[in-house]
Structure 1
Amino acid sequence: MYFLLFSNKLNDPGTIWSNVESVQLNDKTYNSQRLTFEANTGDAPDDWYIVYSDPHTHLIDYVAYIVTVNKSTEAAEADPHAIGYSNYKMIDGIPVAHNWEFYEWSSTNGLGKVIGDATIRSAKFVKTSPNTFDVPDGFIEK
């Protein structure tokens, strides 16, 4: 779910951004920034992301990342991955990537082999009411 909402989470409280750098990733030049988190932010504040955005469209093309949930930072950094976002379509004026590819990744070699993919086929924003997320009467928590 985090990757679906990733572009909307970039300015969440507790995010720390590096300065923008121009970098090469698989023969294309991108704007790149490293995203880390303040202590006690989110479920895994030791995670980090490297965001590669197109310098012309400013859309995110790739995000390299580690996942530290249930493992040390060192173990997570030994197995980094990346996600590629493509086939952006406008939904209510907001660009949403409808194709994702997951890759092996390294800071020295860039994108490696594809290890998975996802396709968004039907996406829309829904109107909510003030009680949309209220717990219904009679709900039993187990």
Structure 2
Amino acid sequence: MTDHLEFLAKRVLETGGAEAERAFRDTLRHVSDPAVLRVLAGKFYAEPEVSVPTYERLLELMPKDVLTRVEFGFIYFLMGEDGEARRQLGMAQALDPEHVQVLTLEAALARESAEKVRLYRRILQKEPLNEIARGKLRELGETP
């Protein structure tokens, strides 16, 4: 199943056609193993034509999975769709507002530098060696 999904995903990216997209989405609907979907999502994370429907299917199967919700939010963030990223963040916060990945997405979406700093420091309280938070604080001119 994984090989077939990857083949269809590559076809979506190569052709960009509605037929390829429909075949991919139809096949996704028949996948019930989250592990298979996670592998696919990881391989095509930077390709929203593939990752968005894959995460949609993952969330159909596991609507309360905070990591899936955050990863989906980050895809929208990377696409520049902050409104949808914030919507995903809100749902993730409802599940676990203090989860490090939730805080990381919240910091990425924060508009004010002071808010970003506050959130990255909160992450470091939970995970003192968190490289993302440490790096972002350095970028903001703060000492981790």
Verify same fold: TM over 0.5: no
Structure 1 length-normalised TM: 0.24
Which one has the bigger helix percentage?
Answer: 2
Which one has the bigger strand percentage?
Answer: 1
Structure 2 length-normalised TM: 0.24
